[in-house]
Amino acid sequence: MTHIAIFASGAGSNALKIIEAFAHSPRAKVSLIVCNKAGAGVLQIAENKQIATILLDKEQFFRGNAYTSELKAFSIDLIVLAGFLWKVPPALIRAYPGKIINIHPALLPKYGGRGMYGHHVHQAVIDHKEKESGITIHYVDELYDHGNIIFQARCPVLPEDTPETLAKRIHQLEHTHYPRVIGELVS
């Protein structure tokens, strides 16, 4: 059984899809939700689904043990970032080599890097008059949105799109593919 920790900062719609996808799986389960923001929607989802949570303290995450011993105590094998807005510290990457993945709401290497999250990404895609956007699922390394790409899917950007309408289309892609790709990684 692969024990998954989902790291998220926001509403947690991807976290919910992943939790549901593995609820009855013999291969993997979401054992822990890790969040850096008190009051984030993902914490309510964890409570509803009766999944343990850790609320990160910035000092301990970036200058302490990066919660490696807490994650090991939960037997975590795979870390899944789903709308997690803090950079992953080197200590955590060293503790989980090749075992941390992220989803980004654009076609990397375009529209990635510091400050490129959520609606900022979609606004930039629209401002550059891109005809298509999409999602990228990739391994996490020490640079923002940089590690090896596992999977990409594309969708059109329509002339009338706003960041909100594009976000909706992107979220649909994410919800379809993220649980499936994780399923392949744990099989």
Q: Which of 104, 122, 138, 177 is catalytic?
A: 104
CA distances from 137 to 46, 81, 95, 105, 187 (A): 23, 10, 20, 9, 17
Of 9 and 31, nearer to ligand GAR (C-beta) is 9
Query: Comparing C-alpha atoms, which of 49, 64, 58 is closest to residue 19?
Result: 49
Between CA 75 and CA 32 the distance in angstroms is 10
Nearer to ligand GAR, 75 or 162 (CB): 162
Measured from the CB atom, the residue of 64 and 185 that comes closer to ligand GAR is: 185
Using the CB atoms, write b or e for 50-85: b if 16+ within 10 Å: ebeebebeeeebeeeebbbebbeebebbbbbbbbbe
Minimal distance in Å, beta carbon 3 to ligand GAR? Answer: 20
State yes or no: is 104 an active-site residue.
yes
Least distance to ligand GAR from the beta carbon of 69, Å? 26
Footprint on this chain of ligand GAR (rule: CB under 6 A): 8, 10-14, 82-83, 103-105, 116-118, 121, 170-171, 174
> In angstroms, what is the minimal distance from the CB of 109 to ligand GAR?
13
Active site amino acids: 104
